[in-house]
Amino acid sequence: MNTAEFIWMDGKLVKWDEAKVHILTHSLHYANAVFEGTRAYKTDKGLAIFRLADHTARLLKSAKMTILNVKYTQKELEDAQVELLRANKFNANVYIRPLIYLGYGVMGLAHTKAPVNTAIAAWEWGAYLGEEGLEKGIKVKISSFAKLNVAGQMSRAKASSNYLSSQMANYEAKEAGYDEALLLDSEGYISEGPGECFFIVENGVIITPPNDNSLASITQDTVITIAKDLGYEVRRERISRDRAYVADEAFFTGTAAEVTPIANIDNRQIGAGKRGEITKKLQDAYFDVVYGRNPKYAKFLTYIN
């Protein structure tokens, strides 16, 4: 992967190769950690972080859900991300990864006496599912791994423990020759991708599942807002796999995935088997927003220069 010069760790900028933790770090053994995925884009006015306040607020909400008592305020964490990007002097689009985790100090399942540590890393990163995927669309497999019932995990927390099923689903899909997976919920309806939200288009209407058992997605919210501004009807409805197979268009959204068309699900061609017309309009409008080309959404950008 790409590296940078510094990582922010508990208030200090640490050299990338020196940013280390103890082997008995509590979160490494018991999986209680929360994180964020945030992007910064090289706009005409300089590098700008997209929806910094919203991502940082979600990070702190995730920490509250999982009883991680963070010692930093939202403003301090926002300032730390700006400081980190300034220090690293990036020349391209950047992915930012804040992480709150339980450090070294105690062992055993009980976690409240373990120290709570915070780190922020950032590196230059392009299209998560490939530049070609953004244009031509990707091939997706519905996974044998299902999202856990909401009684069994806190799905609205961006918690490390929630991503084991995502990791296994992604592995299964790629080993079978697909680009990405799609997970069903415990009732057999489509929930989300391993790290993306799912949308379909039917007769000009844009449909995406509710966040009953999935992360409350900031990119999903952005795309819904853009779609409504463009005059499209947007509905939050449960989607069965057979309904997805016959959709006119389908696409993923996410901080990493941005807006990625889906051309094929389980070897069923979706629409024309390429990026659909509405997907392209949403994709173009989304990139206009994140690159600062739409003044209506200027409030979403935090410039670091």
Give the separation between CA 94 and CA 97, rounded to whole angstroms. 10
Give the separation between CA 130 and CA 174, rounded to whole angstroms. 14
Question: In sequence order, what DSSP letters do the residues of 103-132 get, joined into one string?
Answer: -SS--SS--TTSPEEEEEEEEE---TT-HH
Give the separation between CA 128 and CA 279, rounded to whole angstroms. 17
**204 φψ region: left (φ > 0), alpha (ψ -120 to 50), beta (else):** left
β strands within 129-241, DSSP E: 138-142, 180-184, 190-192, 197-202, 205-208, 234-236
Q: Where are the alpha helices (DSSP H) in the chain?
A: 26-30, 52-65, 74-88, 131-136, 164-175, 218-229, 241-245, 277-290
- CB-CB contact of 160 with 153 (8 Å): no
Active site residues: 158
Give the separation between CA 174 and CA 157, rounded to whole angstroms. 26
Give the separation between CA 80 and CA 207, rounded to whole angstroms. 37
- CB-CB contact of 218 with 230 (8 Å): no
Closest by alpha carbon to 181, among 241, 232, 119?
A: 241
In this structure, the number of other CB atoms found within 10 A of the CB of residue 280 comes to: 16
- CB-CB contact of 263 with 137 (8 Å): yes
- CB-CB contact of 160 with 59 (8 Å): no
